[in-house]
Structures are given as C-alpha cells and as structure tokens.
A and B are shown apart, each in its own frame.
Chain A
C-alpha cells in the first residue's frame, strides 16, 4: 500500500522527486529515508473504527502520520480505515439553456 511522503532534503528530492508524492516503499526503504532525513510522512486522515484506539474515539476522523507497516497493522486489526480526500475535478460547465422570463 502506498504512503504519502514529502522530500525534505536534496538527496530526497533527487531520489523521490520534489514536493509531495505517493510512494510504495518497502518498510526498510521507508525507515532509511526517514531516519536519514530525506523524507517525512505527510499526515493522512483515518476514521477510528475500534473502541480501544488511543488517538481518537470510535467514529472520529483523526490525522496521523503512520509508518507503512503500522498503518497496515492498524487497518488489518480493524482499528482504522483510511479516509481518502475526494480528488478535485473541474466543475462541469452549466448547460447553456434559455433564461426563463418571468411572466406576470
């Protein structure tokens, strides 16, 4: 599963691209990049599903920066689900209809 990262060093920008990107890194690649100061995790929104997760009450939407395997463990364990932001789409043009005249 991909996670969202931001490159925070010149090396990070060289290897992973500038700015924010979605990457499918292995757990060890992720740890190396984070510990080396090349990437940081961009917080993501999750809905809390269980009644025993400490970061939020059941049903609450919380923003967390989770490592890939911890994200997977908590999703697999039934504690969290990802709340993906709807992608922005350009507004559809309004149909060019006749403007109705107000009749008295």
Chain B
C-alpha cells in the first residue's frame, strides 16, 4: 500500500451521496483516557474508557433540492439516527477501500454558512455515534 492523494472520497449521509459537494472529511474514533495511577507508581498508568466516534464533514453549500442544505437541515432537529459512511474512494468496499461507518449517527452541529465576503460558502456537519456500535470499518 502506498501513499495516495484523496481525490475521490465517497460521502453518504442518510442514504444520500454528497461526495460531489464534499471538500474535507475528518473521521475520529477515540477512547477516553482514564487515569489509573496508584500511589508509589513511578509512571502514570492509563486505562481506556468509553469509546467515542465523530465525523466532521465539510461540504460546499447548495440550496437546490436534494443537495447539501435540503439533505442536512432536517437532520439537526431529528432525534432519529441515520447512517453516515465515508470511503477513501468511490469504489466498492474492500480491504483496500474500507468504509468508515457510523450506523447510528446523530448530527450535533450544522453550520449552514461558514464563509467570509467573497468566499465560496461552505458548511460543516458534525455527526457522532448514538449507539453502542460506535465506528466500524466494514470491507464488504
């Protein structure tokens, strides 16, 4: 496996492909760092706590039907989880093109516009896992 440039990432939110509006993706799968250091220890001991998973997706804003705003804006008030999937390329899932999948994601942050004068308007959507499954990396 060699290094590659990210030019063809796939972004699917609630079954809707928004890759052609995507500009940046950040996938974070983390565990809480719990201090388990006892007296007389000479080094700090850490234990893993609960997991957390977040996807930050930056998209070009588009108010046309079926595009960015129309797809994302209903999700900010919704309490029903949706699936969010990101792949390195638009090809089918495989061992060399694994998906990052939040099967039950809730959108916690929606910046409808994030731009200054003369900028191309962008929007940022932040999804977090709402179930125990957390982030998975299916290859098929």
The proximity string for A residues 35-62 relative to B, scoring 1 for CB distances below 8 Å and 0 otherwise, is 0000000000000011111110000000
Q: Which one of A4-12, A67-75, A94-102 is at the B interface?
A: A67-75
Place the interface of chain B in its size category: 10 to 19
A-B contact count (CB 8 A): 65
Instruction: Check B97 for interface membership: any CB of A closer than 8 A.
Output: no
The answer to whether B79 and A52 have CB atoms under 8 Å apart is: no
Q: Which one of A13-21, A76-84, A85-93 is at the B interface?
A: A76-84
Closest to A71 in B: B80
Q: How many residues of A contact B (CB 8 A)?
A: 22
The answer to whether A79 and B16 have CB atoms under 8 Å apart is: yes
The answer to whether B66 and A54 have CB atoms under 8 Å apart is: no
Instruction: Check B121 for interface membership: any CB of A closer than 8 A.
Output: no
A78 is contacted by which of B12, B20, B65 (Cβ under 8 Å)? B65
Inside 8 A of B20's CB, which chain A residues have their CB?
52
Inside 8 A of A77's CB, which chain B residues have their CB?
16, 65-66, 70-71, 73-74
B binding-site residues for A, Cβ under 8 Å: 12, 14-18, 20, 65-67, 70-71, 73-75, 78-80, 82
Question: What are 7 A-B pairs at a CB distance below 8 A?
Answer: A49-B65, A49-B66, A51-B66, A70-B78, A77-B71, A78-B70, A79-B66
